[in-house]
Amino acid sequence: MNRLTSSGLAAALILAAFSASAYAGPHDPGVNARQHRQHDRIEQGLRSGALTRNETKALAQEQRAIRLEERLYRSDGKLTKDERRDLHQDLNAASRHIYQEKHDAQTRAAVR
C-alpha cells in the first residue's frame, strides 16, 4: 500500500470515528468543542507528517475512549459536575499526548 492510500485510510478512520459521535445524543458543548479541536490537530499532524500512522491510530483510539466515556456518563440524561471535570481531565491528557506525539522525533513524509 502506498503512503497516500494508507494515510488516506487513516484519515477516513478518524473522520468516521468522529462522525459516529454525532449520533450519540446530547453532548456537553465545551467537551464537544474540545473534541473537535483535538480532531483537527490530529488531522493536521497526519497531513504534515508530524504523526506516523501508529501514532494517529493510538490518538484516535484515545479520542474514541473519551467519547464512549461521555456517552456512558450521559446515559442517565445528565452530565454531573464531577463527570464533566473527569472528561476535561481526560481531554487535557489527550491534548498533551497529541502535542508529545507531534513533537517527538518520529516523522513520516507529509501527505499533499
> pLDDT (tens digit, 9 = 90+) per residue, 39-82?
999 999 999 999 999 999 999 999 999 999 999 999 999 999 99
Residue 109 lies in a domain: no
- Report yes or no on 68 lying in a domain: yes
Does residue 108 belong to any structural domain of this protein?
no
Give CA torsion, residues 68, 73, 79, 84, to 10 deg: -60
Helices 3-20/53-74 angle, 10° precision:
10
pTM beyond 0.75: the answer is no
- Domain for residue 110, yes or no? no
Summarised one tens digit per residue, pLDDT across range 3-28 is: 555 666 666 655 555 554 444 445 56
Domain of residue 26 covers 3-102
Count of domains in the chain? 1
User: Which residues have a Cβ under 8 Å from the Cβ of 28 and sit 6 or more positions away?
Assistant: 70, 79, 84, 87
